[in-house]
Amino acid sequence: MDDTDAAQTRKARRAHSARQEAETIAALQDPIGRMALRAAYHARRYSVLYVLGVVGLVALLLMPTVGVGSPQGTGPTGAAGAAGAGPSGGAPAPSAGPAGGPAGAATGGAGGGTAAGGPATGASAGPVGAVQVGSGLTRSGVPCRPGVHQLAYSQYAPPCVAKFTGNNGGATYNGVTATTINVALRTCSDAQGANAAAVYAEAEAAGAEPPDKAEAHDKQLIAYLSQVFELYGRHVVTQDYNGQGNCTNESIGTGQSAACADADYAVNTLHAFSDLNPYNGRYESEPFAQCAARYHMYLGFAQLYFPESEYQAEHPYIWAPTPSCTLGGAEEAEFIGKQMAPNPAKWAGTDGGVPLNGLQRKFAVFTPTNPGYQECADTVQKIDEQQYGVSSKRFDRYNYPLDISQWPQDAQAAATQFAADQDTTVVLACDPLIPTFLMRDADNQQYHPEWMLIGVALTDQDNLAQLWDQNEIKGHLFGLSQLGSYAKFQDPNGEAATTLKAAGVPVDQGTILGYYELLPLFVQLQAAGPILTPANIAAGTRSLPRLGGSTAADGTWYYGNTHTAIIDSREIYWDESKTSPDGKQGTYVEIYGGQRFEVGHYPAGAPPFYPS
């Protein structure tokens, strides 16, 4: 082929790709969805420019700054910092507060240490008031008795307690006073960058709110939850601040120096007890979490899906509602070992016209480059090899960075590699947005494998899968789901919606997700008892019963001796022909009647996906 022919071929391919993109965009009924896909395809075409933009931000962060101890940008707004905090700087000292769970536990003065090393001051005199569990009236006036939750209609709120009276210990820890619990709201330095804009567009296409609206609604919800949960005379106040940390860098496991500067600022200048990141889906990254633990700050929603060993190293400061990849990986390994590996591929298509069904399953694991995720991917493979006899030769892997600017080329390279290796089953151990790229590239290469979910990062929810290439996943998408069904999760009369309405917050997909992400924070704050310290949060969390379950919207919560809440999964498959509860085409269908399974209890044999 001469240069002219090659140029014409490339031109024809670009025209074909452009037509496909236009058809896909036009097929979406949701105008926000169309906008998001345009952003995604724009990112594909101009990814080099986005990479240069990220490099520019990194260069800015490496330049000398004035005032190393505090982030650049605007100062904090909102409530004042808690009284009694020590000065900035120096190595943090461990907390020394007495352990006290929800049953009333500790009495006496406050002993929680601050991040700067001095004892908290301002503790009230006299004995701490007792907590009456399962009796009296709650703060919201609900009759409290054994078996009733703090929110009577909730399956996830902790056991109810009578309205607290008396001394709560005053300033028991940095960021805590007799009346307030100070929570910092961090905005990363790249929150208005190209990468963030592309992520926001995709997230909004799936029903999320724009970050500024989400933050405003979060504040409303926090104010309401502060009124109905028992916080022992306190309420949560928030302070916004613009950080030095770059969320793109942090998502791929780098940028810890800037993240630590932000944690230092939050603890020692804002005197925050905890921190949330509204412009990053509320959760804080692994680098920031490690720094928060160093400064002895509690985070209830951080470091998602990392190994349990990391949480243990950061005890008692870092927690998450989502499973650790240690637990989730054990579930994945059992599912593969009992149901997938012993049986040939059944729900695949073809690879370049060659049928994949009937072949021994070969698994292509698609996962981020972060060392913690890599550790868990290795562990899954090891469990399957040692416990179920699945040869390591039946596993391939493609590692990609959690940086949307790099996704177009990574998705194309992964699809090419998986097709060349004749992998029958692609394991989506990934974020929920990159499949938009990966599946389009697989379809373009006439590669139609089985797509296997492990249930992480909302990949098991209808609104995200509706954005994926339906031609590619039709009859091919199935696996594990850590959340409850979409109908329960988005129920307009369900637990989340009931609370949001009471708080005066609009009920939509984004705010419902926000409820389930903020709720664990309040569950732990109540469980800690009146002497609020990270140590008492740990003690109270250990005493919590199982919450939720198979009839609930967010799975079964039980921290036990771990640091993450959800402990089980259900099994689902995608049916593009059925209408979702959101009114759009495509929904996940449960098998086994929606039964949820814990490690050691998954059934053996071929599962009844696509029974027809």
Predicted confidence (pLDDT) per residue in 571-585, tens digit = 999 999 999 999 999
- Token digits for 487? 């109908």
Q: Whole-number mean pLDDT of the chain? A: 83
- Token digits for 377? 């991917």
Q: What is the pLDDT of residue 210?
A: 81
Q: Mark 58-68 as b/e (b = at least 16 C-beta within 10 Å).
A: beebeeeeeee
Q: What is the pLDDT of residue 191?
A: 84
CATH architecture label of 325-481+567-594: 3-Layer(aba) Sandwich (3.40)
Quote the pTM value.
0.81
- Residue 281: pLDDT band with limits 50, 70, 90: confident
Does residue 13 carry a pLDDT above 50? no
Average the pLDDT over 244-270 and give the result. 96
Q: Is 472 helix (H, G, I), strand (E, B) or coil?
A: helix
Closest CA relative to residue 254, chosen from 403, 106, 121: 403
Q: Worst-scoring range by mean pLDDT, 186-190, 199-203, 527-531? A: 199-203
Question: Which phi and psi (to 5°) does residue 140 adopt?
Answer: -90, 5
Segments in 336-447 forming alpha helices (H): 371-388, 407-420, 435-444
CB 538 within 8 A of CB 531: no
How far is 559 from 553, CA to CA, in rounded Å? 17
Average the pLDDT over 470-490 and give the result. 95
- Residue 103: pLDDT band with limits 50, 70, 90: very low
Question: Measuring CA to CA, how many Å separate 8 from each of 5, 11, 22, 45, 46?
Answer: 5, 5, 21, 19, 22
Greater pLDDT, 83 or 185: 185
Query: With the C-alpha atoms ordered 529, 531, 536, 539, is the resulting torsion angle positive or negative?
Result: negative
Does residue 45 carry a pLDDT above 50? no
Average the pLDDT over 34-46 and give the result. 44
Q: Worst-scoring range by mean pLDDT, 192-196, 254-258, 366-370? A: 192-196
- Residue 197: pLDDT band with limits 50, 70, 90: confident
How far is 78 from 81, CA to CA, in rounded Å? 9
Does residue 333 carry a pLDDT above 70? yes
- Residue 405: pLDDT band with limits 50, 70, 90: confident
Q: Where are the domains of the chain?
A: 77-88+96-311+499-555, 325-481+567-594
Closest CA relative to residue 574, chosen from 588, 590, 585: 588
| Environment class of 302 (CB within 10 Å of its CB; exposed 0-12, middle 13-18, buried 19+) | buried
Q: Worst-scoring range by mean pLDDT, 69-78, 94-103, 412-421, 424-433? A: 94-103
Percent of the chain topping pLDDT 90: 71
- Residue 86: pLDDT band with limits 50, 70, 90: very low
Greater pLDDT, 210 or 334: 334
Q: What is the pLDDT of residue 54?
A: 33
Predicted confidence (pLDDT) per residue in 343-395, tens digit = 999 999 999 999 999 999 999 999 999 999 999 999 999 999 999 999 999 99
Greater pLDDT, 405 or 167: 167
Q: What one-letter code names the amino acid at 224?
A: Y
CB 299 within 8 A of CB 274: yes
Average the pLDDT over 585-600 and give the result. 97
- Residue 101: pLDDT band with limits 50, 70, 90: very low
Q: What is the pLDDT of residue 375?
A: 96
| Environment class of 6 (CB within 10 Å of its CB; exposed 0-12, middle 13-18, buried 19+) | exposed
Percent of the chain topping pLDDT 70: 78
Query: Long-range CB contacts (< 8 A, 24+ apart) of 119-123?
Result: 120/84, 120/85, 120/171, 120/172, 120/173, 120/174, 120/176, 121/83, 121/84, 121/171, 122/83, 122/84, 122/170, 122/171, 122/177, 122/178, 123/169, 123/170, 123/171, 123/172
- Residue 97: pLDDT band with limits 50, 70, 90: very low
CB 289 within 8 A of CB 303: yes
Q: What one-letter code names the amino acid at 143?
A: P
Average the pLDDT over 304-315 and give the result. 97
The residues pairing with 570 across neighbouring beta strands, listed in sequence order, are 481
